[in-house]
């Protein structure tokens, strides 16, 4: 576990990150990592002297199984409110079968499907979410209902999910996993127009300064 800014922690779960945000009103979790791997999150919570029961909300960036794998178990263990975009909600709650790309079908050997779980708040518009401090920004392309979250803390922290990948600079998301590359590109431009210093990603190292600038450099 790594603290990115005050009270925002990145937890590596295999090849994906989930993020914990400690607030006065409990812990907010952004994405849940792989199925069967919630012990990593429980251990990270313990380091902050908290437990799964302290999670009050789970914000999902998109339905992919590496982000929703732990959802059902964590929701049961915490009673947390689950927030996702309404366009990805049917895949998350199991009312629509997941539309897997060829690569995802190949990966399904190692990547267990997520157990479906109810979504309590299905986002239909951008702007403030019911979770204080978090603003939703619809960033479709990687999936139709991909949403990024902007946290009003430490100059702005963007939870980019898989709208982009991290590293020494911001990169485009993995093309083979992305449903609509043209829309994904539009979403990158949209993020480049916002104001935030820090960016955390589902995959790749967090960018801890000049966050929005690095999106601008990417989209030119
Ligand atoms: Zn994804
Ligand atoms: Zn991912």
Residue 197 alpha carbon to ligand 2 centre in Å:
22
The rounded distance, in Å, linking the Cα atoms of 217 and 144 is 25
What is the Å distance from ligand 2's center to 32 Cα? 11
Q: How many angstroms does the Cα of residue 201 sit away from the middle of ligand 2?
A: 9
Crossing angle of helices 211-219 and 181-192, rounded to 10°: 140
Q: Separation of 202 CA from ligand 2 center, angstroms?
A: 5
pLDDT tier for residue 40 given thresholds of 50, 70 and 90? very high
Q: What pLDDT band is residue 213 in, cutting at 50, 70 and 90? A: very high
* CA of residue 49 to ligand 1 center, whole Å: 30
pLDDT of residue 102: 77
Distance between Cα 203 and ligand 2 center (Å): 6
pLDDT surpasses 80 at 101: no
Ligand nearest to the CA of 111: 2
What ligand is nearest to the CA atom of residue 146?
1
Q: How far is the CA of 185 from the centre of ligand 1 (A)?
A: 15
Tell me whether residue 175 is exposed, middle or buried, using C-beta atoms within 10 angstroms of its C-beta: 0 to 12, 13 to 18, 19 or more: exposed
Nearest to 88 by CA among 130, 122, 129, 135: 122
Query: Which protein residues have a CB closer than 5 Å to ligand 1 (ion)?
Result: 64, 162
Cα of 44 vs centre of ligand 1, distance in Å, is: 23
Q: What separation in Å is there between the alpha carbon of 142 and the centre of ligand 1?
A: 6
Range 47-72 burial, b when 16+ CB lie within 10 A, else e = eeebebebbbbbbbbbbbbbbbbbbb
Could you tell me what percent of the chain has a pLDDT over 70? Answer: 100
Mean pLDDT (whole number) for 167-175:
91
d(CA 95, ligand 1 centre) in Å: 19
Q: What is the pLDDT of residue 176?
A: 79
Measure 162 CA to ligand 2 centroid, in angstroms.
6
Q: Is the pLDDT of residue 98 over 90?
A: no
Quick one: pLDDT band at residue 7, thresholds 50, 70, 90? Answer: very high
Q: N- to C-terminal Cα distance for the chain?
A: 33
Predicted local confidence at residue 193, as pLDDT: 97
Q: Is 155 left (phi over 0), alpha (psi -120 to 50) or beta?
A: left
Is 24 in contact with 7 (CB distance < 8 Å)? no
Cα-to-centroid distance, 134 and ligand 1 (Å): 21
Walk me through the domains of the chain, giving residue ranges and CATH numbers: 2-124+133-219 (3.60.15.10)
Identify which ligand lies nearest to the alpha carbon of 201: 2
Spacing, Cα 133 to ligand 2 middle (Å) = 24
Q: Please compute the mean of the pLDDT values over residues 96-110 and round it to a whole number.
A: 79
Does residue 107 carry a pLDDT above 90? no
């Amino acid at each position: 576990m790594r603290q990115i800014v005050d009270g925002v922690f990145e937890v590596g779960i295999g090849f994906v990150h989930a993020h914990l945000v400690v607030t006065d009103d409990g812990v907010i979790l952004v994405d849940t990592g792989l199925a069967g791997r919630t012990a990593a999150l429980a251990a990270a919570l313990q380091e902050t002297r908290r437990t799964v029961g302290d999670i009050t909300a789970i914000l999902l960036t998109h339905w992919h199984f590496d982000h929703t794998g732990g959802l059902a178990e964590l929701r049961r263990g915490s009673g947390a409110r689950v927030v996702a975009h309404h366009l990805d909600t049917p895949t998350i709650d199991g009312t629509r079968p997941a539309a897997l790309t060829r690569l995802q079908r190949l990966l399904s050997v190692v990547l267990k499907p997520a157990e479906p779980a109810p979504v309590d708040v299905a986002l239909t518009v951008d702007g403030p979410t019911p979770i204080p401090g978090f603003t939703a920004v619809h960033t479709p392309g990687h999936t139709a209902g991909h949403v990024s979250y902007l946290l009003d803390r430490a100059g702005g922290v963007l939870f980019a999910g898989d709208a982009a990948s991290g590293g020494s600079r911001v990169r485009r998301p993995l093309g083979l996993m992305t449903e609509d590359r043209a829309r994904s590109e539009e979403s990158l431009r949209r993020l480049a127009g916002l104001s935030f210093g820090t960016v955390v990603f589902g995959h790749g190292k967090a960018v801890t300064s000049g966050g929005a600038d690095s999106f601008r450099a990417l989209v030119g």
